[in-house]
Structure 1
Amino acid sequence: MNSSSASISFSAYGSLRRYNAALLVCISVLYVSCLCVNLFLVLVIWRESGLHRPMYVLLVHLCLSGVAGSSSVCPHVIRLLLADRPRTSLAWCLTQVFFINVYSGCIFCILALMAYDRYVSICKPLLYRSIVTPARVRALLLLVYLSLGWSSAAQVVLTSRLRLCRHTVDKLLCDSLVVARLSCESSAAVSVFGLCSAIWVVLCPCVLVLGSYLRILPVLLRGSGASRARGLRTCTPHLVTFVNFSAVSFFGVIYNRLSDRVPEAAAVLTCVNFFIVPPLLHPIIYGIKMQEIRQSVKKMMKKKMIQM
C-alpha cells in the first residue's frame, strides 16, 4: 500500500510558467464568479417560499454540487501555480480523486432527477403532487449521495493499493486514471470498477434523461400553443444544461485518453471547461430562462432598494 506521505509532482505547470499571471487572474476571477452566482441563486431559492418546490430543490443541489466540484480543483490549481515546485501529497491527490468523481456523478444524477421531474409535470400533471413529493425527492437525493460516496470511496481505496513506480504526472490535477498510470503494474480491479462506476453514474442518468424527453416531446407537440410554450420554458434550461455538461464531459474523457498527444494548453482548457464553466453557466441559464426565478430576483432587489 502506498504511503500517504508520498508526493506527486505536476510537470504540466512547468511549461505554463510564462502564462502564470494570466492563468492566476483568469482562474481566480472565474472561480469567484462561480461561487457568487451559485450561492446567490441558492439564496434566492431559500428566501422565496414560493420556490420551495421539488424542481428548485434539485436546482439548489445542482448549484451546490457545482460549487463543491470547482472548489475541489480551483484552489489546488491556484496553489500550484504559485508554488516553485508544483507538487502535492498522495493523500491529497486521492482526496481530489474522490471529490472529482462525486462531482461528475452528482451533476449527471441530479440532471436525471430533474428530467424525471419535468416528465411527471408535463405528462402526468394531475399526479405530480402525489408522485414528486418533498420526502421522495429527499430520499432520492440521499440515495444519490450515498451511492456516489460509496463508489468513489471504493475506487480511491482500490487506487491507493497500487504500488507507484513514478511520481510525476503531466496534468494540472489528479484523477483515478492519472494515479493508475503511475503504478508499477496494471490493475484489472481498478479498471473494471472504474468502468462499472462510469456506466452507473453517467450512462444510466443519460438514458433516463433521453427516455424522459422522448415521452415529453410528443405531449408538447400535441398540446396547445400556450401549454407548448410553457413546457418549453421549463425544459429548455434543463436541456441546455444537460447538453453542455455532457459535451464537456465527453471532451474531458477524450483528453484523458490522448493527453500525451495534445499541447499543454489543452490541460488548462479542459480543467476550466469541466470544473468552472458548467457550474458558472448552470445558474445563469436557469436565472435567465425561468420566469419565477427572474421575478424572485427582481423582488429581492426591490426590497433591498426600499430598505436603502
Structure 2
Amino acid sequence: KKEGNETVGVIILGLIYSVNMGHLIIPALVLILVVGILANGFIIGIIYTNSSLKNPKNILISHLCLIDLVGLAFSPYFITRLAMGSTAPISLESCLVQYYFLNLYSCVAVFMVSFMAIDRFLVICYPFLYELKVSNENIHKFMFLCWSLAIIYPTLYIFPFIGSKVCYLVTSYSFLCTGSSIESSACNPDTILFSKYYRIVMIALHFIGSLLIVTCSYIKILQESRSARLSESSRKALNTVVTHGIILLVFFGNSCFMFITGSLQIRDPSEESVLAILRLTADVLYLNVPPAINPIIYGLRNEDMRREFTKFFWRKKTNLVK
C-alpha cells in the first residue's frame, strides 16, 4: 500500500521480460506496422475512389480495415516502450486510456466479423431478400451504430475510476494494462465492483455471442451449399466464404489465445517470465497480426481488389517507363 513517497501504479511485466528481445521485436513490429498501414489504407482508398466497388460487402471490408488501423495504433506505443527500455510503473490514467482503446478495437472488430458472417449467410441463403433489404445506406447506418456503441460502452467501465486514487503497486503480465490490474490498483473495493462484473459480462457477450452467431451462420451456409437450390449469385458469394473463414480463424484464434493466457495464474515467482512472454505474444498477435494479414487476404481473394491492385501498379509502371 502507498506510504510516503512509495511508487504506486501498474508494472508491465511483459515489457520488462521482453526488453532483452527488443532488437528482434522492434523490427518485426515496424515491418507489421508499415505493411498494415499501407495495405489497409490502399483497400480503403480503392473502395471509396471507385463507385463500382461501393457495395455492402466492400463497405464492410473498408470498416474492417479502418478498425485494423486502430489496432495498429498500439504498435508505436509498443515500439517506443521497448526502445526506451522503461520499467517504471504506469499510472491509472494511462492504463484507463489503453484499456479504453483496446475495448474500442475489440468491440468494433467483433461487430465486423459477426455482421460479415450474417451478410454471407443472407446473400447465400436468401439472395432475393438480401437485394431488397441490404443497401449501402443501411450498411452505413449499421456501421454508425456499431462505432457509436463501441465508443460509448467502454466509458461505463472507466467512469467509476475517474477521480479515484491508486493505493497499490500491482503487476500486469500483459504488454498492456489489463482490467484486473486496473481494478487491483484502486483503493476502494466498492469502486471496482461494478467494473469487474461489467468487464466479465461484456467479454462473455462479445466473444461467446459473436462465436454463436458466426457458428450458426456457417452451419446454415454449409447446409444450403449442399442443396441444389443455390442461385448463380449465391454460388458466387459462396466463394467469398473461404476468405471470411480465414479472417474468422485468425481473429478468434488470437482472441482465444489472449483470453486463455489472461486467465492463467502463476503462484511460483520463478515462472512469471513464462507467463509474461505468453501474454506478450498474445497481445502482439491480437493487435498486430490480424490488422496486417486481413487486407492481404482480401486483396488476394477478392477479384475486384486484385483487378484494381493490378491497374494501380500497371499505371505506376507505365508512368515510370515514360
Whether 1:75 aligns to 2:76 is yes
Give 1:139 deviation, angstroms: 1.6
One-letter code of the match for 1:279?
Answer: P
Say if 2:177 is the partner of 1:174. yes
Distance 2:62 2:111 in 1: 14
**Contact kept in structure 2, 1:159 and 1:176, CA below 8 Å:** no
- Mapped to 1, the partners of 2:167 and 2:64 lie a distance apart of 36
Q: Which residue of 1 aligns with 2:260?
A: 254
Deviates more, 1:80-89 or 1:51-60: 80-89
The answer on 1:285 being equivalent to 2:290 is no
Equivalent in the alignment of 1:3: none
CA distance in 2, matches of 1:286, 1:164: 48
Give the distance between the partners of 2:265 and 2:30, measured in 1 at CA. Answer: 24
Give the corresponding residue for 1:236: 242
Specify the alignment match of 1:203 in structure 2. Answer: 208
Unaligned runs of 5+ in 2: 1-7
1:177: how far off? Answer: 2.4
Deviation at 1:38, TM superposition (A): 1.1
Structure 1 CA distance, aligned partners of 2:253 and 2:167?
A: 33
**Segment drifting more, 152-161 vs 265-274:** 152-161
Change (3 A) 1:7 1:150: same
Q: 1: CA distance between counterparts of 2:210 and 2:171?
A: 34
1:222 matched to which residue of 2?
Answer: 227
1:60-100 CA distance string (max 9 Å, x none):
110110110120x2111111112243344432221110110
Code of the aligned partner of 1:304: K
Q: Deviations over 1:233-269 (max 9, x none)?
A: 2111111111221111011001111163534322331
Give matches, 1:1-308, under 5 Å. Answer: 8-71=10-73, 73-87=74-88, 88-160=90-162, 161=164, 163-184=166-187, 185=189, 187-223=192-228, 230-258=236-264, 260=266, 262-308=274-320
CA RMSD of aligned residues (A): 2.4
Aligned AA for 2:120? R
- Further displaced range: 178-187 or 277-286: 178-187
Distance (whole Å) between structure 2 residues aligned to residue 22 and residue 176 of structure 1: 28
1:299 deviates by 2.0
Measured after TM superposition, the shift of residue 162 of structure 1 is: 6.9
* Percent of aligned positions that are identical: 22
Residue identity opposite 1:249 in structure 2: S
Which shifted more, 176-185 or 58-67?
A: 176-185
Q: What is the rounded CA distance, in whole Å, between the counterparts of 1:105 and 1:221 in structure 2?
A: 33
Amino acid at match of 2:244: H
CA distance 1:203–1:162, shift in 2 (3 Å): farther
Aligned length: 303
**What is the distance in 2 between the residues matched to 1:108 and 1:188?**
25
Indicate conservation of the 8 Å contact 2:14/2:277, yes or no.
Answer: no
Determine the C-alpha separation between the residues in 2 that align with 1:134 and 1:255: 39
Q: CA–CA distance in 2 between the matches of 1:234 and 1:12?
A: 38
Structure 1 stretch displaced more, 112-121 or 264-273: 264-273
Match of 2:3 in 1: none
Using the size of structure 1 for normalisation, the TM-score is 0.89
Q: Secondary structure at the match of 1:264?
A: helix
Contact 2:104 2:150 in 1 (8 A): yes
Gaps of at least 5 residues in structure 1 are: 1-5
Shift of 1:103: 0.7
Output the amino acid matched with 2:60.
Answer: L
Cα separation, partners in 2 of 1:119 and 1:214, compared to 1, 3 Å: same
Structure 1 or 2, whichever has the larger Rg, is: 2
CA-CA distance at 1:101 after TM superposition? 0.6
Aligned residue for 1:69, secondary structure, equals: helix
